[in-house]
Structure 1
Amino acid sequence: MNWLLVIAGAMVGAPLRYLTDRAVQSRHDTVFPWGTFAVNVTGCLILGLLTGAAARGAAGSHLQLLLGTGLCGALTTYSTFSYETLRLTETGAGLYAAANVVGSVTAGLGAAFAGVSVAQALWS
């Protein structure tokens, strides 16, 4: 049964990732991968909210599988982040590559911490 929850979440997360990435990237005329950045930070925020809710007893294991493992697992993408950073470096856009690494890690961690904090405030 658990694997069905993961599949269901991934069935939403994967197309959401693709569509969001394309929509965000089409609005920017730059080599910086804004679409991947947006989905990764959003996934960190969702996972932070879910983690904070679970810590307060407001989210059970089924919701964690559905949203955390399934949705966020398919929505976020470390491999594309890595590939795009490498591609930026190879094409001479080293400053964009460095900004992608620093910005993604900083914003992702910030979003996760913010999500946990919001969830803990809501379910305290």
Structure 2
Amino acid sequence: MLNPLLVFVGGGLGALLRYAAGRAALLVGWAPPLATLGVNIVGCFAMGLLAGWFAAKGGSESARLFLLTGVLGGFTTFSAFGLDALTLWRTSPAHAAAYVAASVIVSLLAVFLGFSLAR
């Protein structure tokens, strides 16, 4: 009974953090695709860092569910990523392709880097 609540609360917190990051990015003049890209990279790095820490140090299932599934699941934005890619595709397929490639490659590298640093 507690595990779904942890995911729910963590997901809500992550979504609020994502919203705040998006608003902050707009305030400094970033276009929405760049804000989404930044959140995905930071979220993937944090995911790797925490997953590596849990792998090396252990930790409770509750903490994993709250932080990884909840907070970071709510924070990362691949649904927004898909919409941004579609929006870019409609005006510039080349920019859309570059955005998708950068999002996937740099985010995966961020997960590996975070995981490696935590171990």
Query: Aligned residue for 2:88?
Result: 88
Cα offset for 1:29? 5.5
Partner of 2:73: 73
1:98 alignment counterpart: 97
State the partner residue of 2:49.
49
**RMSD (Å), alpha carbons:** 1.5
Q: Which runs of 5+ in 2 are unaligned?
A: none
CA distance in 1, matches of 2:40, 2:15: 12
Structure-to-structure mapping, 1:103-114, within 5 angstroms: 103-114=102-113
Deviation for aligned residue 1:95: 2.4
The 2-side partners of 1:17 and 1:33 are apart by: 13
Aligned length: 118
The share of aligned pairs that are identical, in percent, is 40
Aligned equivalent of 1:22: 23
- Measure the CA separation in 1 of the matches of 2:61 and 2:30: 41
Unaligned runs of 5+ in 1: none
Shift of 1:94: 2.0
Summarize the Cα distance change of 1:100–1:82 in structure 2 as closer, same or farther, 3 Å threshold: same
Closer, same or farther in 2 for the Cα pair 1:29/1:79, shift >3 Å? Answer: closer
Q: Give the whole-Å Cα distance in 2 for the aligned partners of 1:118 and 1:13.
A: 23
In structure 1, C-alpha distance between the alignment counterparts of 2:110 and 2:118, rounded to whole Å = 12
Task: Give 1 or 2: higher helix fraction.
Answer: 2
Q: TM-score, normalised by structure 1?
A: 0.87
| TM-score normalised over the length of structure 2 | 0.90
